[in-house]
Amino acid sequence: MDGDEVRRALVRIAHEIVERNRGLQDVVVIGLQTGGVWLAERLVAILREIEGTAVPFGTIDVAFYRDDIGLRPVLPEEVTDLPFDITGRTVVLVDDVLFTGGRSGLRSRLSRPAGGLALCSWP
């Protein structure tokens, strides 16, 4: 995807988030280190443009939660920074890699309905 296509996709995703949640009151956005962070930052900026309100933003390093952890050394890449409580919140996880499998186990664990977390992937 080129820059314009990424922006259009993020605008569509942002509108979908606003519509499904009837606003952004309980929404937080978390970018998975490292590539998901820049996408999440852009998504948060677009959400602010649409709704005129700031959305809590954080980052997670998922190095220890990968499915392929035994196949390569575990090297935490970045700091996890979640300056807010996610209890009872709608968490939007943003990642730039959806199909390699390394993080699929993490996504499946987080998408269980028990925590009220709705996880969606966009190709």
Reply yes or no: is the peptide bond before residue 59 cis, omega within 30 of 0. no
Distance CA 17, CA 55 (A): 12
Maximum distance among all alpha carbons in the chain? 45
CB atoms within 10 A of CB 71: 8
CB atoms within 10 A of CB 37: 22
- Which pair of tokens denotes residue 27? 């929404």
Predicted pLDDT of residue 80: 86
**pLDDT band at residue 76 under the 50/70/90 scheme:** low
**pLDDT band at residue 72 under the 50/70/90 scheme:** low
pLDDT, greater one: 64 or 10: 10
Q: In what order do the strands lie in the sheet with 57-60?
A: 57-60, 27-32, 90-94
Predicted pLDDT of residue 14: 96
